[in-house]
């Protein structure tokens, strides 16, 4: 299989490049010496936003299921918890689908999206990881390693998010499967459930994982906006239209 | 041996003959068989076949050993169902040895055990209640100077099948809760080469045990087991999926504190820590004390006593989730998560402020440099 390479070069002819989300391409390039790159393929972008929405729905409904914070008072027939659980399960299904798309795209995506891009595997990445941390800690706020795709710190935190996603899905399925012993979900999850000490442990892990999906977006959204404000390349719109501008006078580690 | 009966079940008598001799009516017997068939998940159509098989059964030899335990399991069995059927059950389970219930004691009791085991080598049914303490050579429970482990290994050697009754025999129960000072383990940790059925619970419901006996006597085999060694007919579904309060759960109607209006209305006990969603047990169906009631029926949340490790994982009993261990003070997942999230927010805010300061400074520097440059021109 040939690896589709990301486009980069001068500013694109407006509109033509991102048929899926032409919005971002309308932005004029920032003044100064910039060039255009397109690191994020359409499946990745769709997956990102669908997953984000699914996670939001899962968090809101999940907190209700864990601790029902409002109640119905009238006589049955009512079905509040029932509907909320239904929404939770549907959103969970959507979330799992986005995961499958991501797994497919680990093998079919471009160099910034493929499996190796998930991990800081080269020595230079570990060196840059330290530089990146020092940059964020403002020890040397002028000197960040430049990546077109994800820098090592992003790799680590995003890959952690994937791992947590797998754990949260698996623990979710384990609890879901309890209603139908001997069924598919029960059978695939039960050995691990017993190995970790029972379904209550699974439940606790599920709850703890959720907090990653609250804490990670706080930092993620902040850092993305920060990058946008300090570098003005349109990176924020890159996850919508697939491309953004980067400074043409810098060297990029992962080019 | 439970109650000294006028009509002991003689060794070579079949159960049918025995019942006739003890004056149990055929009608009562068939009713009992029907109940057992239903408990076992068979149709009532199977009742005549169960009856036919049971009638021909010869008295089984049952040896009951009690290891590290509280005798609660024996108590539970003594209180099984209504008297006529209870008597029937107790007669089926004519015990050759049970140190709590037998009249003999001391050396005589031990001699009875030894002789019964020898005479029925490879044939008897072994019932075990209680866990096996392994720490410090097993000194925490000894009988006649021998450790629980030795007694168990010896008794199991000649057993045809083992009934591990109660949470203690299943995985150790309360004495195996962290930090498990006596090193208590369940029967299956020691006995690996015999068919074992786990009738778990703290204590288990008597009818679960009776029905398993009936299954064993009728079919000559243990019933089908789940992934944790428990018979599926009893432990095949969650409390939560059989609970009469489930309609309130689905409707979003919960007890908040034990004496509120919702509690009086009999709403779902989820918010006061019910572990029904995590617990496989027949309580809602079999119920307790001659079907009088059961915990949730009486307004108390399920504590999950049929599940492995429940003293550690189902506690606090009045919270839905276990605390997060290892932090010195006990904390819930949500407190920890909320604290971390607040920390992340604060960190982000501080970082944004620092970034702004830095941006302003570097802009000024750039402007100053430009100004100097302009000046040179
Ligand atoms: S399982 Fe519970 S009731 Fe039975 S002996 Fe052990 S502690 Fe007692
Ligand atoms: S009382 Fe417990 S078992 Fe019954 S519906 Fe509520 S949570 Fe489930």
- pLDDT value at residue B141: 93
Task: Provide, as residue numbers in chain B, all residues whose Cβ is less than 8 Å from the Cβ of A222.
Answer: 348, 351-352
Judgement on whether residues B183 and B63 belong to the same structural domain of the protein: yes
Report the share of chain A in percent with pLDDT over 90.
42
Query: Which pLDDT score, from 0 to 100, does residue A138 have?
Result: 79
User: Quick count: other Cβ atoms within 10 Å of Cβ A94?
Assistant: 17
In what side-by-side order are the strands of the sheet with A34-37?
Answer: A8-9, A34-37, A244-247
Question: What is the Cα–Cα distance from B86 to A9, expressed in whole angstroms?
Answer: 87
Res B33 pLDDT > 90? no
Residue B129: strand pairing partners: B66, B165
What pLDDT is stored for residue A101 in this prediction?
94
Strand locations in chain B, DSSP E? 62-66, 95-98, 124-129, 132-133, 142-143, 146-147, 159-165, 184-185, 196-199
Ligand 1 center from residue B69 Cα (angstroms)? 6
Q: What is the CATH number of the domain that holds B247?
A: 4.10.480.10
| pLDDT number for residue B1 | 34
Mode of pairing for the β-strands spanning B159-165 and B196-199: parallel
> A7: distance to nearest CA of chain B, Å?
31
Nearest CB to A81 within list B251, B304, B309: B251
pLDDT in tens, B107-154: 888 888 888 888 888 888 899 999 999 999 999 999 888 999 999 999
Phi first, then psi, for residue B246 (nearest 5°) are -60, -30
Residues near B135 by Cβ (< 8 Å), separated by ≥ 6? B181, B182, B183
Cα–Cα distances in Å, from B145 out to B36, B65, B98, B110?
40, 15, 17, 11
**Ligand 2 contact via B255 beta carbon (within 6 Å):** no
Q: Is residue B234 part of a domain?
A: no
Let me know: does B71 contact B135? Beta carbons within 8 Å: no
For residue B3, give every residue at least 6 positions away whose Cβ sits within 8 Å of its Cβ, in sequence order, or none.
B87, B90
CA A207, A209, A210, A214 torsion-angle sign = positive
Same domain membership, residue B131 and residue B252: no
Sign of the C-alpha dihedral computed for residues B324, B329, B335 and B336 taken in this order: negative
Rounded mean pLDDT, A60-75? 84
pTM assigned to the model: 0.86
Q: What is the spatial distance between Cα B138 and Cα B150, in angstroms, rounded to a whole number? A: 9
Instruction: Give me the domain span that covers residue B87.
Output: 15-50+59-223
- Does residue B122 fall inside a structural domain? yes
Strand partners, B185: B132
Structure ipTM: 0.84
Can you read off the two tokens belonging to residue A245? 């501008």
Neighbours of A191 (CB within 10 A): 10
Residues B182 and B39 in one domain: yes
B322: CA distance to ligand 2 center in Å?
17
Distance (Å, rounded) from C-alpha B276 to C-alpha B263?
A: 17
Query: Do B22 and B5 meet the contact criterion of CB atoms below 8 Å apart?
Result: yes
Within this chain, do residues B115 and B160 fall inside the same structural domain, yes or no? yes
Domain match, B95 and B211 both: yes
B159 part of a folded domain:
yes
Q: Which residues of B touch A72 (CB under 8 A)?
A: 251-253
Note whether B167 and B306 are within 8 A (CB): yes
- Interface contact flag, B352 A204, Cβ < 8 Å: no
At which residue do the structure tokens 């819930």 appear? B332
Mean pLDDT calculated for residue range B159-185? 94
Residue B306 has pLDDT above 90, yes or no: yes
Q: Taking the alpha carbons of B187, B188, B192, B194 in that order, is the dihedral positive or negative?
A: positive
Statement: residue A21 has pLDDT above 70: no
Q: Which tokens hold the place of B62? A: 């049952």
Asked if residue B128 is part of any domain, the answer here is yes
Judgement on whether residues B149 and B265 belong to the same structural domain of the protein: no
Please report, for chain A, the start and end positions of each structural domain, with discontinuous segments joined by +.
55-71+78-103
Q: Is the CB of B186 under 6 A from ligand 1?
A: no
Pick among A64, A70, A81, A171 to test the B interface (most B CBs inside 10 A): A81
Q: Flag the least confident range among A77-86, A154-163, B53-62, B365-374.
A: B365-374
Contact between A82 and B250 (Cβ < 8 Å): yes
Q: Based on the fold, state whether residues B314 and B358 are members of the same structural domain.
A: yes
Is there a domain that residue B131 lies in?
yes
Pair (B310, B357) in one structural domain: yes
Residues B37 and B85 in one domain: yes
Q: Is residue B2 pLDDT above 80, yes or no? A: no
B170 within domain boundaries: yes
Nearest one of B59, B61, B32, B62 to B48, comparing CA atoms? B32
Q: Greater confidence, B226 or A5?
A: B226
- Is B253 a member of any domain? yes
Residue among B226, B247, B322 minimizing CB distance to A204: B322
Per-residue pLDDT tens over the stretch B55-107 = 888 778 888 889 999 988 888 777 665 544 445 455 555 566 777 777 777 88
Look at chain B and report how many structural domains it folds into. 2
Q: How do residues B140-151 score in pLDDT, each as one tens digit?
A: 999 888 999 999
Q: Out of B232, B253, B341, name the one closest to residue A72 (CB).
A: B253
A122 touches chain B (CB under 8 A): no
* Same domain? B216 vs B302: no
Q: What is the mean pLDDT of chain B?
A: 85
As a three-state string, the secondary structure of A135-195 is HHCCCCCCCCCCCCCCCHHHHHHHHHHHHHHHHHHHHHHHHHHCCCCCCHHHHHHHHHHHH
Pocket mutation for ligand 2, best pick of B239, B272, B320 (most atoms within 8 Å of C-beta)? B239
CA distance A68 to B28: 48
Retrieve residue A128's tokens.
Answer: 């840059």
Domain ends where: B172, B190, B223? Answer: B223
B141 and B87 share one domain: yes
For B276, residues 6+ apart whose C-beta sits below 8 A from its C-beta are B238, B239, B240, B243, B269, B270, B296, B301, B302
Cα separation, A25 vs A13, whole angstroms: 8
Q: Which of A122, A188, A187 is nearest to A155 (CA)?
A: A122
Residue A38, class by beta-carbon neighbours within 10 Å (0-12 exposed, 13-18 middle, 19+ buried)?
buried
In angstroms, how far apart are the furthest CA atoms of chain A? 69
B214 and B274 housed in the same domain: no
As a whole number, mean pLDDT of residues B200-223 equals 88
Say if residue A96's pLDDT is above 60: yes
* Domain end (from B162, B189, B223): B223
Q: Is residue B68 part of a domain?
A: yes
Q: List Cβ neighbours of A170 (8 Å cut-off, separation of 6 or more).
A: A189, A192
């Amino acid at each position: 299989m040939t690896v589709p390479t990301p486009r980069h070069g001068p500013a694109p002819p407006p509109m033509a490049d991102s048929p899926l989300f032409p919005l971002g391409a309308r932005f004029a390039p920032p003044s100064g010496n910039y060039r255009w790159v397109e690191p994020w393929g359409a499946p990745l972008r769709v997956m990102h936003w669908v997953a984000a929405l699914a996670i939001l729905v899962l968090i809101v409904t999940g907190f209700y299921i864990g601790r029902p914070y409002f109640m119905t008072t009238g006589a049955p027939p009512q079905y509040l918890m029932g509907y909320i659980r239904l929404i939770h399960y549907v959103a969970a299904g959507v979330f799992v689908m986005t995961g499958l798309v991501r797994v497919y795209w680990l093998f079919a995506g471009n160099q910034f999206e493929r499996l190796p891009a998930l991990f800081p595997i080269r020595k230079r990445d570990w060196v840059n990881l330290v530089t990146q941390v020092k940059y964020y800690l403002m020890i040397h706020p002028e000197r960040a390693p430049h990546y077109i795709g994800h820098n090592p710190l992003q790799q680590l935190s995003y890959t952690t998010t994937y791992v947590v996603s797998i754990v949260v899905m698996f623990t979710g399925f384990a609890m879901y499967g309890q209603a139908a012993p001997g069924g598919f979900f029960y059978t695939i999850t039960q050995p691990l459930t017993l190995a970790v000490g029972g379904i209550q442990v699974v439940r606790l892990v599920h709850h703890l994982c959720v907090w990653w999906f609250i804490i990670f977006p706080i930092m993620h959204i902040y850092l993305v906006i920060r990058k946008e404000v300090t570098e003005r390349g349109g990176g924020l719109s890159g996850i919508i239209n697939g491309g953004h501008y980067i400074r043409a006078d810098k060297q990029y580690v992962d080019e | 041996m439970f109650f000294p009966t006028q009509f002991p079940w003689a060794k070579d008598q079949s159960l049918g003959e025995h019942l006739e001799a003890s004056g149990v009516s055929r009608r009562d017997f068939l009713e009992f068989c029907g109940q057992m068939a239903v408990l076992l998940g068979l149709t009532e159509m199977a009742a005549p076949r169960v009856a036919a098989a049971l009638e021909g059964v010869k008295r089984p030899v049952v040896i009951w050993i009690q290891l590290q335990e509280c005798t609660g399991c024996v108590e539970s069995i003594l209180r099984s169902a209504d008297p006529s059927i209870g008597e029937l059950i107790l007669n089926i389970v004519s015990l050759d040895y049970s140190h709590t219930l037998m009249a003999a004691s001391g050396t005589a009791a031990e001699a009875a055990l030894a002789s019964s085991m020898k005479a029925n080598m490879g044939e008897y049914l072994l019932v075990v209640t209680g866990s096996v303490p392994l720490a410090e050579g097993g000194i925490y429970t000894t009988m006649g100077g021998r450790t629980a482990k030795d007694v168990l290994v010896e008794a199991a050697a000649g057993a045809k099948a083992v009934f591990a009754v109660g949470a203690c025999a299943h995985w150790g129960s309360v004495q195996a809760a962290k930090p498990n000072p006596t090193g208590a383990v369940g029967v299956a940790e020691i006995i690996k080469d015999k068919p074992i059925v786990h009738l778990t619970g703290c204590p288990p419901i008597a009818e679960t045990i009776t029905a398993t006996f009936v299954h064993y006597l009728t079919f000559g085999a243990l019933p089908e087991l789940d992934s944790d060694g428990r018979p599926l007919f009893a432990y095949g579904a969650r409390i939560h999926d059989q609970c009469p309060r489930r309609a309130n759960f689905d409707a979003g109607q919960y007890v908040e504190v034990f004496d509120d209006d919702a509690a009086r209305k009999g709403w779902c006990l989820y918010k006061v820590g019910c572990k029904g969603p995590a617990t496989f047990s027949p309580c809602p169906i079999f119920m307790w004390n001659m079907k009088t009631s059961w915990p949730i029926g009486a307004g108390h949340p399920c504590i999950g006593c049929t599940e492995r490790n429940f003293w550690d994982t189902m506690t606090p009993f009045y919270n839905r989730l276990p605390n997060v261990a290892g932090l010195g003070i006990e904390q819930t997942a949500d407190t920890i998560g909320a604290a971390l999230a607040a920390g992340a927010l604060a960190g982000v805010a501080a970082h944004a402020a620092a970034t702004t300061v830095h941006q302003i400074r570097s802009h000024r520097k750039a402007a100053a440099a430009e100004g100097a440059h302009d000046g040179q021109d």
